[in-house]
Amino acid sequence: MARNSFARAAAAEQGGNLEQARALYLESLDAEPRNPKALHRLGVVESRLGRPREAVALFQQSLAIARDLDVYLDFGNALSAISRWDAAATVYGAALRVAPDSVDAHYGLALSLHRQARPQEAEPHYRKVLATHSHLGEVHNNLGVALQDLGRLAEAAAAHREAVRLDPADAGAWSRLGVALHGLGQGGEAEAAFRKAVGFAPRDAESWHNLACLLEANGRMEAAIAAGRLAVALDPASARNWLALGNAAHAAERREEARRAAAVAVRLNPSDPTARNNLANALRALGRLRDAVAEYRAALDLQPDFPVAEVNLALALSILRDPDGALAVLRRLIARQPENGDAWRRMGGVLAEAVRPDLAVAALRNAVAVLPGDPDSHADLAMAASICGWSGLSADACRHVLRLAPDHAAALGQLVHEKRLLCDWRELDGLETRLLRRVRDGAEGVPPFDVLSCASTLADQRSAAARWAAAKARGVTPVVRPPASSSPSCADGRLRIGYLSSDFREHAMGHLMVDALETHDRSRFAVTAYSAGIDDGSALRRRFERSMERFVDLRRQTDADAARAIAADGIDILVDLTGFTTFSRTSILAARPAPVQVNWLGYPGTLGAAFVDYIVADPVVIAPGEEAFFAERVVRLPDCYQPNDRHRAIADATPSRAECGLPEDGFVFCCFNSSHKLTPALFDGWARILTAVPGSVLWLYAGTPEVAANLLREGEARGIAPGRLVFAKPLPHAEHLARHRLADLFLDTLPYNAHTTGSDALWAGLPVLTRRGTTFAGRVAASLLLAAGLPELITDGEEEYEAAAVALARSPGRLRVLRERLARNRTACPLFDTPRFTRHLEAAYLAMWDIHRAGDAPRSIAIDAGDAGGSASAAQEGKETT
């Protein structure tokens, strides 16, 4: 009867009547409980009925009675069905002891080991199967996955290629081939493989996910976003699909879409630290820095050892102007991972922003030691060294960058600038030519200030500035300003003027502007100074703080918070005094905190920005007809765009010539301009001047021994004896002005003139000889001289300049007349008449505001010389289309 029940059970099983088969197998076992075949087949039926645990128990009973290969194989399958991979591997191993050549046992063991993250042990079993069954594409695929897990990508790709050869319509095989090729850096072939996969299985979300990741890695962001959107549409419950979409949107600067995608990923998998980090990145890009910090901290709560999130958290804290918090995070990370180059680099950035460039250099030296092939680390080191004044180190770091990334425009510009500062003119012509070619080719990242000292045109300068400004404005959200009104927003009817600067301190710009800001008519103008720079504790800083109606320190505020603060103050006209110089905060302007925004004084050129309305100039520095080269509308003051401080102290005591290293007799030419303004061609001319004036010397400012050594070498190459070049050491400002009395004539530079140094010389009573250039930076000294009443000291060519210098040196009487005129004019000439200057500036502000109040677009303005009374009736030039 038992035999009859077993036969009927087997027939029912074969016919698919599983419940009937189960009952008959049980009937058979009632009659013969230790029948291994009945136990085996009942186990198979239980598996097919979805009861693998019951099946496992039956297979164990069967094997306890008799060792049978088929039972082992079915036992292994049942264990695999409940993800008992360790037990399944044990069973398949036992099967191989029964039948060492069993293909099924080798394959089952391979899969079980692979599922336990033991690909190295799985590999030989996959290969054993393929030795006799090479036609099985699925096995080639699984072998490929194991090889990829082992990092053997080329072998993995070969295995997947064989799989798709065997079954060209296998979408999964094409997708896995794409993954291997992507890992090998073969982007084009990888994309083709993924395209095959989605062609054969257009609803396979995995393949669309893989394609999105590849396209994002290859910089094809729009295509990556499209693929990512398909992946999430097909499988919206997959957090990794949302992460892929978010990564692509973040890279494409689609910030809100990136945030939404990352937020969904976090909702689907709230315990995934990577999703939290990605959401934080998206929030940071949106300017929601405090929310980003919370998400970074949540990621680190889930995974405390998460260096990427730690570095990102430090970056967010740094942007929030919390350097102490950022440094605390980084120090903890570096204590754990002293070889983490990203952490050292971020620490260098935080320290540089905190104006600790010496410590920043130390940190960045560690970064480049750990990451010698990372151009950005070398670029950061170059910048920190430059802030320290270590031009040699900065130049070396720039060279490293350019070896690693030959098209790195910022490093090229900085290298040119550092070589100029060092007066190391070797190879300079070629570097400048290369830099200007990059500007004219439309390269991004060329620092505009570095272009000013080159033989650049106004068009070059606008081109570089426009791209720089656009980069600074990227991602900036405009602030909400108080409701516009037809009259000044100040409750007492005064126009609110805000001055934004990093230089309210002992700085050239500070000395120039302090008197003009102090002399504003407070009955008509409410003046606020917004300081974005350091408090250096100087007397000049204290003077700014005392004399301004309001002095607001923004240094610890983010750009966004600073812009909101300015907007909340109801500023009508915001004047940027820093431009593209060190520690500028251009992103504040990009947020448009004021309805009228002005570029003045700090930067001798256009900012190239749509968010700046006007540039304050004069008819000399921006000649009529040059408006097209300026993104701003040009406001021309009648005398000189540059203010001066009537209270600049000049020390009473004059040092002796001997104390300054000068000869007792002989003509003293001098130039106290920054060394970056000196050029080989200029030095050629100075050598000719010295040769033509026997016994004369050239007195220069050299900030470092390296600069002096380079200039002595260049002088010797031009036949100048070393004793004819004398170098001035740094002195306090009043003493520096006093030593001007020892010189006879100040020789100006080109293409970048004396600016503050020129007005310093004239204030100290020293005539300045200049050449008029072709750009703003090269015409400032001409403007100063016209306003000082010394137009005959302006020349228009190299020969005229050299001839004038020699003639003046040979004509002491004529030079004395010039000195006497300068002395007489000092208290009366427009250059040093600060109240007159400020009335003209105020007239310009009123004209700007009248245009804005009328609802008109900004247009050029010319202030009449007779408008020193400060009326708002300044002449306004015709509207422009450029």
Domains and CATH numbers, the chain: 419-476 (no CATH), 482-646+836-882 (3.40.50.11380), 661-826 (3.40.50.2000)
pTM: 0.84
User: Measured between alpha carbons, how far is 293 from 287 in angstroms, rounded to an integer?
Assistant: 11
The answer to whether the bond into 488 is cis (omega within 30° of 0) is no
Per-residue DSSP letter, 551: E
Cα-based torsion angle of the residue sequence 791, 793, 796, 802 in order, rounded to the nearest 10 degrees = 170
pLDDT score for 481: 87
Structure tokens at 620: 């000399």
- Alpha-carbon distances of 632 from 236, 465, 528, 608, 626, rounded to whole Å: 49, 12, 23, 7, 12
| pLDDT score recorded for residue 482 | 82
Q: Is-contact 48 77, C-beta < 8 A?
A: no
Handedness of CA 39, 40, 41, 47 (dihedral sign): positive
For the stretch 543-568, what's the b/e string if a residue is b when 16 or more beta carbons lie within 10 angstroms of its beta carbon? bbeebbeebbebbebbbbbbbbbbbe
pLDDT at site 30: 84
Distance from C-alpha of 367 to C-alpha of 349, rounded to nearest angstrom: 11
Q: DSSP state, 625?
A: T
Round to whole Å and give the CA distance between 571 and 528. 9
| DSSP per-residue letters across 315-333 | HHHHHTT-HHHHHHHHHHH
The residue assigned the tokens 């749509």 is: 610
Helix (H, G, I), strand (E, B) or coil at 445: coil
pLDDT attached to residue 31: 83
Q: What is the pLDDT of residue 709?
A: 97
Let me know how long the chain is: 882
**Could you give the CA distance from residue 92 to residue 94 in angstroms, rounded to a whole number?**
5
Q: How far apart are CA 446 and CA 743, in angstroms?
A: 38
Exposure string over 803-812, b if 16+ CB within 10 A, otherwise e? ebbbebbeee
For 35, 614, 617, the CA distances from 95, given in Å and listed in that order, are 20, 86, 91
| Among candidate residues 222, 160, 226, the one with its CA nearest the CA of residue 196 | 160
| 8 A C-beta contact, residue 555 and residue 321 | yes
Residue 494 has φ and ψ, to the nearest 5°, of: -80, 150
Contacts of 3 (CB under 8 A, 6+ apart): none
Q: How many Cβ atoms from other residues are within 10 Å of residue 30's Cβ?
A: 12
Q: State phi, psi for 143 to the nearest 5 degrees.
A: -60, -45
φ, ψ (nearest 5 deg) of residue 111: -65, -40
Nearest-5° Cα angle at 192, 188 to 196: 170
Please say whether the beta carbons of 329 and 317 come within 8 A.
Answer: yes
> What is the per-residue pLDDT for 795?
98
d(CA 777, CA 731): 26
User: Is the CB of residue 789 less than 8 Å from the CB of residue 826?
Assistant: no
For residue 496, list its beta bridge partners.
Answer: 526
Contact status, residue 508 vs residue 761, Cβ threshold 8 Å: no
As given in the structure block, the two tokens for residue 131 are 């030795």
Q: How far is CA 51 from CA 17, 41, 673, in A?
A: 16, 13, 90
**How far separated are the first and last CA of the chain, in Å rounded?**
105
Q: What is the pLDDT of residue 432?
A: 97
State residue 21's pLDDT score.
Answer: 85
| Rounded Cα gap, residues 321 and 311, in angstroms | 15
Going by DSSP bridges, is the β-strand pair 668-671/633-636 parallel, antiparallel, or unpaired?
Answer: unpaired
CB distance 422 to 706 below 8 Å = yes
DSSP state for residue 643 in the 8-state scheme:
-
Q: Are 265 and 243 contacting, i.e. CB atoms less than 8 angstroms apart?
A: yes
- Mean pLDDT per 10-residue section of the chain, whose length is 882 residues: 75 87 86 88 88 88 89 88 90 91 91 93 93 92 92 93 92 90 90 91 93 92 94 96 95 94 97 97 94 98 97 96 96 97 97 93 98 97 95 97 97 97 96 97 95 96 97 92 62 93 94 96 97 94 95 94 96 97 94 98 97 98 97 98 95 96 96 97 98 98 94 97 96 96 98 97 98 98 98 97 98 96 92 97 98 97 77 41 28
- Identify the CA nearest to 389 among candidates 702, 758, 728: 702
For residues 679 and 671, the answer to whether their CB atoms sit within 8 Å is no
Considering only CA atoms, give the Rg of the chain. Answer: 38
Query: Alpha helices, DSSP H only, in 82-220?
Result: 85-98, 103-115, 119-132, 137-149, 153-166, 171-183, 187-200, 205-217
Largest CA distance in the chain: 142
Q: What residues contact 60, with CB distance under 8 A and at least 6 apart?
A: 75
